[in-house]
Amino acid sequence: MKKPIVLVIMDGVGRGDGGPGDAVKQADTPVLDKLLATCPHTWLKAHGTAVGLPSDEDMGNSEVGHNALGCGQIYAQGAKLVGESIASGSLFRSKTWLTLTDNCLKNGKALHFLGLLSDGNVHSNIAHLIAMLRHAREQGLRRVYCHILLDGRDVPATSALEYVAQLEAVLAELSDAEHEYKIASGGGRMQITMDRYEANWAMVEAGWHTHVQAQGRQFPDAKTAIETYRQELGCIDQDLPAFVIAPNGKPVAKIENGDSVILFNFRGDRALEISQAFDRRDFDKFDRGDYTGVLYAGMLEYDGDLKIPANYLVEPPVIKNTLTEVLCKAGIREYALSETQKFGHVTYFWNGNRSGKVDDKLEVYDEIPSDVISFDKAPAMKSAEITDHMIAAMASHQFEFLRCNYPNGDMVGHTGVLPAVITAMECVDKGVGRILEAAKQYGYTLCVTADHGNADQMTETKKGKTSVRTAHSLNPVPFIIYDPDTDYVIKDGSYGLANVAPTLVRMMGLQAPDCWEQSMI
């Protein structure tokens, strides 16, 4: 290697239109501006087919983004995997599906679907739920209930009623005197059930009380719950409190011991904790009450090494020949760093959905605990601490390849609070600036990129009406090389996130696997 390399991933930072909703442009970012003005750089596709999703209308996300960054290849991901499994019928022929539905048919148990109700294609797709509901009805299942988590994050901020209406129409079609298909409970995804990286187990516990125990504020239907909370609290869908459907003062259904339960989310990070609560006999994160167990399955296996969950409907992609495998084979020492909110992305997802290390002797992982606080209230997050740790690792000269993730652009971007997102971007820029100075001082090549857009598009206009946008964008993300000692030239071409690993390997003087995308230099 000519020099050790530092890769900085600015999570959720793309190239916007420069308008009032572009927090990246609105922020004071002198470091990023200078790097783009003076260094070799290009713009990478970070959504759709470039990261293995079904179409270019699909937003990228941090999981598939880090998969592509870390493996140099494009794999069929989440929504596409599940869609293909449903279309071929293999999902319904799987042992897991047959076991769960037989439990209902032969033992008189209910089937419960739990998951994010939208077509954002990041965590779930309502089309998958509807397909499974229809197939359950074809098989003759008599009691089927939906526990819906409201999105407003990967889709427009106040679009929940559209998805509820779509689902209610299907449930009405499938119901008759002998078949009950209904919504049983719900709530906003940032209030219940969908925590990640064990940052806030109280969210999962709140979801447990709602879905499993039917405890919470009661409403006659989901539409009334959403409209009432909006009127009382003025919050967007992701922040709506939990609700229980009880049209006659009695809950429609709760998840009883022995029932069958399917979590229809396909993305893993926000599915792991609720899966452990259902699956693990030795679970101790909160009191599950009189729970003795259900037949539980996830849409996918959310963690292959930890075997979470024990049962799942669709086989995951087998990602081989990752960058970490290539570097460990070459004896390259690595350092990976982020705070809790994105730590799994620079480790688990980066390594092709693999828990643990490829080589304990060559890899060091460093996690900074995230604060449990609304990110718009503390938009700096742990950017200063991440920077401190990265500079210390650089100064140690123990590693040839170092990577870190600044979560701010994504996590604060999801709040929809534009001034906070602007502040978040300025904090990231300061961090990149300090790492840049350390690269100069200690002799490193610095590469700067992102995994998808978000902070770059904080508003959207439809039918002449402008509203807050909390979802990821479809905008390209930067790839910048800073090294005044080497005349790097980025070749003309159209590139995506999967082209980063081959480029890094070329910079290191190593041979990329034949299955990888091409290098950009």
User: Annotated catalytic sites, by residue?
Assistant: 62
For 35, phi then psi, to 5°, come to -60, -45
Q: What single-letter amino acid sits at 65?
A: G
**Tokens coding 50:** 């470039």
C-alpha closest to that of 457 among 183, 60, 2 = 60
C-alpha to C-alpha distance for 311 and 97, rounded to whole angstroms:
9
User: Residue 93 burial (CB < 10 Å; 0-12/13-18/19+)?
Assistant: exposed
Longest Cα pair distance anywhere in the chain, in angstroms? 77
Among residues 82, 84, 163, which one has the least CA distance to residue 116? 163
User: DSSP for 464-498?
Assistant: TEEEE--SPB---EEEEEE-TTS---PPSS-EEGG
**Identity (one letter) of the amino acid at 111?**
L
Backbone torsions φ then ψ of 260, nearest 5 degrees: -105, 135
Q: How far apart are CA 125 and CA 120, in angstroms?
A: 6
Give all strands (DSSP E) within 305-458, no chain letters. 312-314, 334-339, 363-368, 401-406, 445-449
Give the pairing type, strands 5-10 and 445-449: parallel
Angle between helices 126-139 and 78-88 (to 10 degrees): 30
Q: Tell me, what DSSP letter sits at residue 124?
A: -
Q: Find where tokens 């998805």 sit.
A: 163
Q: Which of 119, 180, 179 is nearest to 154 (CA)?
A: 119
Choose among 203, 238, 194, 124: nearest CA to 469. Answer: 238
Counts for the chain of helices (H) and strands (E), in that order: 17, 18
Bridge partners for 337 per DSSP: 366, 404
H/E element holding 387? Answer: helix 383-396
Strand pairing of 363-368 and 334-339?
parallel
